[in-house]
Structure 1
Amino acid sequence: MSIQMKDIEFQTASYDQWKEEAIKALKGKPFETLFTNLAEDVTLSPLYTQSMLVDKLGEDLEKQIATIRSLQSSEQLLAAQQIFGDTAEQFFAGLQDSIERGNNCITIDSRTTFKWEEENLQKLASYLIEYPFKFIVQNKNDSLLQVFNKFEQADKEKVNGFIISDSPVELDDFDNVRTFCANTVTYHYEGANAVQELAIALAIAAKQVKENNFEQFSKNFFVNFAIDTQFFVEIAKLRAFRVLWKAFSSAYGVTNPIAVPIVAENSLRSYSKLDVYVNLLRAGNEAFSGLIGGADAFTVHPHDVLSKPTDKSIRIARNVLLVLKEESQVENVLDPAGGSYFVETLTAEFVEKAWALFLEIEEFGGFDAYVESGKLQASIVEVYNDRLKAVETRKQSLIGTNIYANPVDELPAETNETFASIKRLPIPFEQLREKYNAAQPKIAILTFGKLKDFKPRADFVAGFFATAGVTPDQSGEILSVEIAKEWLQNVNYDYVIVAAKDEDTKELVPTLLSVKPENLILDAAGKFKDEQSEWLEKGLNGFIFAGQNIVEKLNEVLESVKGVQQ
């Protein structure tokens, strides 16, 4: 007799039962180690259940889901790929190619290397009649905006798009062009977390709506977000905005608010000039977050955009989004993250915290007053410093930069000035590469004992220095203290790290310190709290260990090496 799978019922387990099994699996580690603290001052649980979600939100759960779904601005995400070109000819060739290959929202940053002369503006206008657009301009007098003088009155209603500017741009008779933008990308690149970005978006909206009719303002308003690598955080951020927008509208007496478009781009905060193809993975992750979170238009930056994009990298960036759209089938599902115990809980927590921060900004006198007081900048800088510390200590991984780095990878000579001011997290490691490349220190690892004994620490040290573009020499198996002494006295290195088992290191280091050349710097791999003071007094430079601030340590090493080189 065959058993039908649909007839089988599995025994359900309670949270307490799961917790009991989890504690056993941890083998003595505290259960609290399974919880994760986010930059948004939210603690993630290792498990979310239906009962936990219902207990937290109750009847508000259905309202939250219904709000998010009803305020979706469009059914499909627009591929809004930026057009590049050194000359007007290259630019328009790229524009035409992008449209033919799937781009459906012409995205232009006005900071081009060529001028927007009459002929270029007229040519661009012909495209804007047919295709939606996204403009990034510097101010309301930007030369790119002269394109709106090139339309006949009858064609103005055909023009549809978004203008991102620090201050609203005034256009006459372009009813389908949204010019009131809550641009949070600037603050994102200063280090803002998701809660801060959401509160900033509402505060900017409150500032802009004061001088406008709310209904008319809503028709002209949109928000611009950068999407970072924290996959579920970014999904929750976009979903939370729609809930917050309804609450914001309710404050103006509007019970059925107009859906506001969410324009987004993948963040360059984690983009690195090192091992640039890893940026493709970051872009794909971020684009998928935007797609699931319900963005209405999305820009994927090429993996080499920090230096100079090529035709190939531009095409790959465009295809990242197109493949996600076509292959995932996410667009065929309304609010694909809806109902997830984890995402719904995270969405609700972001709504709660962002609304509280928004009210704090308003009570202080509004967005401008809050900015002028320095409170906003101070809070963002604090978050940025925490992010940077997490990267420098490897609590947050940047593959190819602070971990699994390729030491022979070279920094590109060119720099894209458009994005040069972004406070990217990999910058300290890129600076390390430049410093070490200029100094060319002679570095080696003294590997003591059998391969199986020293290999874990030797590999760790090699990976540590790979982040600075250095491949240390290795002594190979040294099996006696006498040979180790002889090796150290006869080598020509500026800096040596001892890599061995704890008991071997404790035996070896004091002996080596008594014979090491005066101009050679010696470090030990590992933590030796009991021996630390004694060894440092006898001339040990320091230690290399997991959890250490890599940037600080490598800068200290370089300064010490420069001292002995002189």
Structure 2
Amino acid sequence: MTTNMKEIQFASASYEEWQEQATKALKGKPFESLLTKTIEGITLEPLYTEATLIDKLGEQLEKQVATIRTMKATDSFEIAQQIYGDTAEQFLTNLQDSLSRGNEVLTIDSRVAFEWDTAILTSLADFMTEYTFKLIVENSNDPLMQVFTKIAADKKHAVTGYIVSRESLELADFPNVRTAHSNTVKYHNNGANAVQELAIALAQASDLAKKATSYEDVAQKFFVSFAIDTQFFMEIAKIRAFKVLWKAFSKGLGAEAIAVPIVAETSVRSFSKLDVYVNLLRAGNEAFAGIIGGVDVFTVHPHDVLTKPTEQSIRIARNVLLVANEESHVLNVTDPSGGSYFIESLTADLVKEAWQLFIQIEAAGGLEAYRIDTKIEDVYQTRIKQIETRKASLIGTNIYANPADSMAPESNVQFVDVKRLAIPFEKLRESYAQQNAKMAILTFGELKNFKARADFVAGFFATAGITIEQSGALSTIEEAERWLKTTDYDYIVVAATDDDAKTVVPALLKVKQEKQLLDVAGKFKEEEQAWQADGLNGFIFAGQNMIQKLNAVMASLKEVQG
């Protein structure tokens, strides 16, 4: 009998039925173990359904979706490739090349290696009358701001662009240049979470509104800057949530909401100088999240931007957006993530939490009075702890590190102040590069029994740039003792099963050389005190703070080596 697949129907299961089956599959673990708490304090469910979303939002769901779809300032996104160059001539050549290869928004950071003299400012002014721009300056006295004096009076009205300033500024006679903005990027770079970034955006907008004569005056000059991190769904929801929050903010001012541009860039706080091509994967993830979320202008930083971008890396960064534009078809869909049970729920959570935080900031008297920097520092310390204990991953840096990888000596001045998560591991590599100790793993027993721990230890030390050698399988205590007594390694980690370790470690402690440091892989709470009293240096185990442990090992090596 032939079955028509189109006529087959499957019985639907309720959330409660799924939860019951999931609980059975957990085999004794509580269902709550499937819940995930984000750094924003939002609890992520293991499953989202239409029913649970409607129960949560009710009629607010339709309003949320409608708001997001009407609060986008443009119908697409513009590619804003930053222009680089060591000299004024090279800069202008790169600018022209960038435009010919798909760049749409001239993105220029005023901190360059050359002087912004009359010649280059005049040339730049010609381009700025034809193309939208994004300038990153210090304040109104920044040398780059002199470019506006080179633009003819009859062309000023047609000039369009964005000015990201570290201090507030005003630009007269250029009605289509946006200078009023909420700049959340600097807070993001210090470690802020998505809720804090959204609340900060509103608080900064509120400060601008208090100084303006009308809402329209603010909205016509306003834009918001976001950095997009690697938390894909959270970042999509962050951009969507801002649109809902902006409408609520506008309503609070008694005005009809005017959509404002969202100018975004890839986050560099998750970038690393180690295994830099992983930065390209991070940037691709971040760029696509921003586009799906609905940004209007986007900058992808090259994967080697922390040191010195090359012609190739700049081209790859630009092509990330070109490929997304041409091949993803994301622009053919209004609000691509709209209707996703998970993202709609997450968007609503961010709106709720960010609005509450915004109200608290306003009640306190503003960001400074609220001590927002202190709150962000707390979040940053949580992030660092997660990275150092591997509760969060930086591929190529704190996990799956390549010990042979080298770091470029240059540092891009534009990003030296970013509190990047990889910095502790980069410093660790620099320190261990000066350490000449010989290190090895004493592997005891059969390969199948010690391999997992030996691999873990090798990966542990790879994050410090160390290729740690292995003794080879040692099958008896006598063989292990003989190897330890005759080896010239300064630091040794024993990798064995718990039962084997409890036998071999006490024996090895009796015969180890005076200046040898001996560690053991695993946790041995009952034996810890006795073993350390007999000369064991310590333990290596999952969940340990890697930076603290590796620094402690280095300090101990320096001590015994004199």
TM-score by length of 2: 0.98
Equivalent residue letter for 1:498: V
Q: Do 1:207 and 1:367's aligned partners in 2 also have CA atoms closer than 8 Å? A: no
What's 1:231 paired with?
232
- Alpha-carbon distance in 2 for matches of 1:520, 1:24: 50
Runs of 4+ in 1 over 4 A off after TM superposition: none
Q: Deviations over 1:153-181 (max 9, x none)?
A: 22112211100013332222211110001
Equivalent residue letter for 2:22: A
Equivalent residue letter for 2:447: L
Q: Deviations over 1:235-257 (max 9, x none)?
A: 00000000000111111101x21
Give secondary structure in 2 for the equivalent of 1:298. Answer: strand
- Alpha-carbon distance in 2 for matches of 1:47, 1:458: 37
Q: Work out whether 1:248 is the aligned partner of 2:246.
A: no
Aligned pairs for 1:99-138 within 5 A: 99-138=99-138
What's 1:361 paired with?
361
User: Cα distance, 1:553 vs. partner?
Assistant: 0.4
Give secondary structure in 2 for the equivalent of 1:144. Answer: helix
Give secondary structure in 2 for the equivalent of 1:106. Answer: strand
User: Cα distance, 1:136 vs. partner?
Assistant: 0.6
- Alpha-carbon distance in 2 for matches of 1:435, 1:454: 29
What's 2:320 paired with?
320
Q: Deviations over 1:407-433 (max 9, x none)?
A: 000111111121111100000000110
What's 1:343 paired with?
343
What's 2:434 paired with?
438
Give secondary structure in 2 for the equivalent of 1:268. Answer: coil
User: Cα distance, 1:50 vs. partner?
Assistant: 1.0
Deviating more after overlay: 180-189 vs 50-59: 50-59
What's 1:27 paired with?
27
What's 1:172 paired with?
172
Q: Deviations over 1:39-78 (max 9, x none)?
A: 1110100001111111111111111111111111111110
- Alpha-carbon distance in 2 for matches of 1:91, 1:119: 12
Q: Deviations over 1:390-417 (max 9, x none)?
A: 1111111110000000000011111112
User: Cα distance, 1:29 vs. partner?
Assistant: 2.8
What's 1:41 paired with?
41
Equivalent residue letter for 1:217: V
User: Cα distance, 1:2 vs. partner?
Assistant: 4.6
Q: Work out whether 1:199 is the aligned partner of 2:195.
A: no
Q: Work out whether 1:501 is the aligned partner of 2:502.
A: no
- Alpha-carbon distance in 2 for matches of 1:84, 1:4: 60
- Alpha-carbon distance in 1 for matches of 2:235, 2:204: 20
- Alpha-carbon distance in 2 for matches of 1:531, 1:271: 40
- Within the candidate set 497, 504, 523, 1:527 is matched to 523
The runs of 5 or more residues in structure 2 that have no matched partner are none
Give secondary structure in 2 for the equivalent of 1:302. Answer: coil
Equivalent residue letter for 1:114: F
- Alpha-carbon distance in 2 for matches of 1:494, 1:355: 57
User: Cα distance, 1:4 vs. partner?
Assistant: 3.6
What's 1:283 paired with?
283
Q: Deviations over 1:497-520 (max 9, x none)?
A: 000111111110011111111111
User: Cα distance, 1:149 vs. partner?
Assistant: 1.1
What's 1:550 paired with?
546
Deviating more after overlay: 282-291 vs 435-444: 435-444
- Alpha-carbon distance in 2 for matches of 1:359, 1:477: 63
- Alpha-carbon distance in 2 for matches of 1:2, 1:447: 60
Q: Do 1:246 and 1:257's aligned partners in 2 also have CA atoms closer than 8 Å? A: yes
TM-score by length of 1: 0.98
What's 1:301 paired with?
301
Give secondary structure in 1 for the equivalent of 2:518. Answer: strand
Q: Work out whether 1:162 is the aligned partner of 2:158.
A: no
What's 2:484 paired with?
488
Aligned pairs for 1:429-468 within 5 A: 429-468=425-464
- Alpha-carbon distance in 2 for matches of 1:339, 1:7: 26
Equivalent residue letter for 2:519: D
What's 2:382 paired with?
386
What's 2:406 paired with?
410
Q: Alignment identity in percent?
A: 61
Equivalent residue letter for 1:220: K
What's 1:97 paired with?
97
Task: Report the RMSD for the aligned CA atoms in angstroms.
Answer: 1.0
Give secondary structure in 1 for the equivalent of 2:513. Answer: coil
What's 1:266 paired with?
266
- Alpha-carbon distance in 2 for matches of 1:167, 1:448: 62
Q: Do 1:495 and 1:520's aligned partners in 2 also have CA atoms closer than 8 Å? A: yes
User: Cα distance, 1:9 vs. partner?
Assistant: 1.6
Q: Do 1:405 and 1:463's aligned partners in 2 also have CA atoms closer than 8 Å? A: yes
User: Cα distance, 1:495 vs. partner?
Assistant: 0.8
Give secondary structure in 2 for the equivalent of 1:339. Answer: coil
Give secondary structure in 2 for the equivalent of 1:439. Answer: coil
Deviating more after overlay: 6-15 vs 43-52: 6-15
Q: Deviations over 1:345-384 (max 9, x none)?
A: 11111111111111111111123433xxxx2111101110
Q: Do 1:121 and 1:146's aligned partners in 2 also have CA atoms closer than 8 Å? A: yes
User: Cα distance, 1:138 vs. partner?
Assistant: 0.7
Q: Do 1:494 and 1:564's aligned partners in 2 also have CA atoms closer than 8 Å? A: no
Equivalent residue letter for 1:215: E
- Alpha-carbon distance in 2 for matches of 1:73, 1:3: 50
Q: Do 1:223 and 1:263's aligned partners in 2 also have CA atoms closer than 8 Å? A: yes
What's 2:334 paired with?
334
